[in-house]
Amino acid sequence: MRTNDLPPSLAHSKYGSTDKEVLELLNRLRSFGISSEIDLSTIVFCGNQSAGKSSLLEAISDIQLPKSDGTCTRCPMELRLVKTSAPWSCQVKIRWEYHDTENRKLESIHEVAFGDVIFDIHDVEDRVRRAQRAVLNPSASYSTFLSGDLSKDDANNLKFSKNVVCIDVTGEDCPNLSLMDLPGIIRHTEDGDEKLVNLILESVDYYISKKNAIIIATITCKDDIENQEIVKMARDHDSEGIRTLGVLTKPDTIEQGCFDKYFKIICGHSHPLNLGYYAVRNSTQAELLKGDTDARAVETAFFKTDVWRHLPPERLGVPNLTKQLSSLLIAAIKRQLPGIKSEVIIKLQEVTNRLGDLPQVISGHPRLEASKLVGVFTRHVECEIQANTNTDLWCRIYPHFMEFRKRIRATRLHFKADAQTTPSNSVSFHEYNEPEDAGNPLLPSITHQEIEELIQKYRGRQIEGFTPYQAFRKLVEKSNIHWKDPALACLSSVANEFLQYLEEEIKNVFAAYPLLSREISSIVRRLHHKHQEAAKNLLETVMIPMETKLSPFTWNHDHLIYHRDYFRNPTANQNVDGIRDLTAMVRAYIMVAHKRFTDNVPLSIDLIFLREFTEQLHESLVDQLGIVNPKDEVNVEMLMEEDEGILAERKSLWAKHECFMKAFDELDRIIF
């Protein structure tokens, strides 16, 4: 693809700055660390080791880069070239992006200058070599590598680093170009270190996978193109070849008779790429030793030979490649700038919102802040307990009260007809059992014969036709004797639900202060247990015995008589009148009593447990924390130490906030 084939190119962009200003803007954005959050347009040089990539970069930048000690293969390098009218200069920097020992991003990505500005081009190689050593030894102060003997065979702390050595070069002969040089892909190491092989592959994979990366695949003509790993990796991430540009190096090594396949590649007939291919030739080691220093003149002469002069000349040579790379990058940046600004605004708002969600930093005295938090917590609990609407807590407790009511209803005495009793003389009733109760083997039940035997047992001296009161009482007991367990189970379920709610609320209010949160939880649990025991004691000593130990009693006579008459079902057989009257009265009383009990137990739990707990909560917390009257055994200042995780998150978010604000300020100066 040619420059004028690109979507909205430089000339048609609304952004009227020069190429230099566009590139400098990109470099500043990257130096802020924004590239870790937003995918910026990047030219990525990658290829197999010994593919001639370093020589190509030297030809583009006109500076010497380290090759001899292998450190150049151990960390990424960013080369930033800007054309200026000022004299040539170079500044080497290190961009710290990762905790090398932990392999995770730093909270604050930053660039630091590695030494002073260089004005002698011959000093660059040594400075870059030293910077690479500093990156591979993060435990030592990087300044120690600025001087001293690097020839010593001192082992590096790391074999590979994701942190970046940055080289800023300015001068009147520089192109406007910024590129990322990745370590050369290797298949094995001398010591068989597979980990290093994989780390380099992961690094290449990371950079070329980004959608705004322009992949510069350096392909040596010395090996078959299909056997080169970078070709496969580029195809994996850019299957249609939209953002990949191939650079054929070492064309002078093409064997006789093999030129045709490279001719087809450069012309786009084989292994086509949208950005096409370029061929470059750099001086061989033998030529350098002979003193042939004008590499570009040698390259120009080489491409004028018979086999090469038939190819498009704009696709040959380092100068043409450099010009195309600069055009590609500048055009890509200009297309991306409006989107970058929008994305920065969105990211800035997200970070601001996340900071707002974090607990506020203590601005006053810790004791005062603790008092405020306790107040917030207790007010939340009071609102949940005292509100007349369906609060979250009530919605969680209500099902337990309903389950209690259901269990009490299930204890109603179930009257069964004897097998020999005919329908005409059996004791029958209006439907009273709930549909789900039908056939429940756990329901207390009694037969016609058993009722008759019970009446005879307790008749004593009473005349026939009178129903013994003791028989009535025994039948009632068969039902309410089962009420204790459901009542205590209801209290236990409500208590567990309430405690879970309290723990959640403690976590929400005191999340930033784990020590205070644990102390609050301990106090709340003790108070919770105290009032649960008080409610349990009330149920066991008053509410349950009142129903199970006292004689059946109610002032609600009208309701009792109504249900008695409702459950009486006249039959033709007068011999069962006594049974009929007794069972009707038993059912009527159980109806009245169970309604009373299913009201009183939840009311008692609400009053003695929930409300009395809430009324004492604030006072207990203030007293036991020593907020008003300090206590020796409670150090509120220590309890108010903020959670390390929240501290780290806030620090990270503020670092991102600063990064996005810097980026926004830079982008806000642009007129789109």
Residues of the chain with pLDDT > 70, as a percent, come to 79
Asked whether residue 430 carries a pLDDT value surpassing 50, the answer given is no
The neighbouring-strand residues paired with 216 are 45, 245
| Long-range CB contact pairs, 261-264, < 8 A, 24+ | 262/221, 263/307, 263/310, 263/311
Read off the pLDDT of each residue in 178-184 and give the average, rounded to a whole number.
93
This prediction has a pTM of 0.65
Using one digit for the tens of pLDDT, what is the confidence trace for 584-627? 777 777 778 888 888 899 999 999 999 999 999 999 999 999 88
Comparing CA positions, the residue from 266, 209, 207 lying closest to residue 235 is 209
Per the rule left: phi > 0, alpha: psi between -120 and 50, beta: everything else, 62 is: left
Asked whether residue 434 carries a pLDDT value surpassing 50, the answer given is no
Asked whether residue 634 carries a pLDDT value surpassing 50, the answer given is yes
Query: Count of CB atoms within 10 A of residue 81's CB?
Result: 25
Of residues 629 and 511, the one with the higher pLDDT is 511
Comparing CA positions, the residue from 78, 89, 91 lying closest to residue 35 is 78
Using one digit for the tens of pLDDT, what is the confidence trace for 489-520? 999 999 999 999 999 999 999 988 888 999 99
Predicted pLDDT of residue 575: 45
Predicted pLDDT of residue 419: 46
Q: What is the CATH number of domain 1-62+182-336?
A: 3.40.50.300
Per the rule left: phi > 0, alpha: psi between -120 and 50, beta: everything else, 334 is: alpha
Asked whether residue 359 carries a pLDDT value surpassing 70, the answer given is yes
CA atoms within 13 A on the CB side of 542: 11
- The three-state secondary structure class of 193 is coil
Among 33-42, 161-170, 453-462, where is mean pLDDT lowest? 453-462
- The residue extents of the domains of the chain are 1-62+182-336, 71-173, 366-641
Measure Cα distances from 156 to 65, 111, 146, 554, 648 in Å.
19, 22, 16, 91, 30
> pLDDT band for position 256 (50/70/90)?
confident
Read off the pLDDT of each residue in 449-471 and give the average, rounded to a whole number.
66
Homologous superfamily (CATH) for 366-641: Dynamin, middle domain (1.20.120.1240)
Considering just the CA atoms, what is the radius of gyration of the chain in Å?
43
Predicted pLDDT of residue 397: 94
Predicted pLDDT of residue 436: 45
The neighbouring-strand residues paired with 279 are 248, 316
Comparing CA positions, the residue from 178, 137, 170 lying closest to residue 155 is 137
- The three-state secondary structure class of 570 is coil
Among 245-259, 476-490, 525-539, 586-600, where is mean pLDDT lowest? 586-600
Among 19-23, 31-35, 218-222, 640-644, where is mean pLDDT lowest? 640-644
Q: If you write DSSP's letter for every residue of 300-330 in order, what string do you get?
A: HHHTTSTTTTTS-GGGBSHHHHHHHHHHHHH
Comparing CA positions, the residue from 119, 125, 95, 120 lying closest to residue 109 is 95
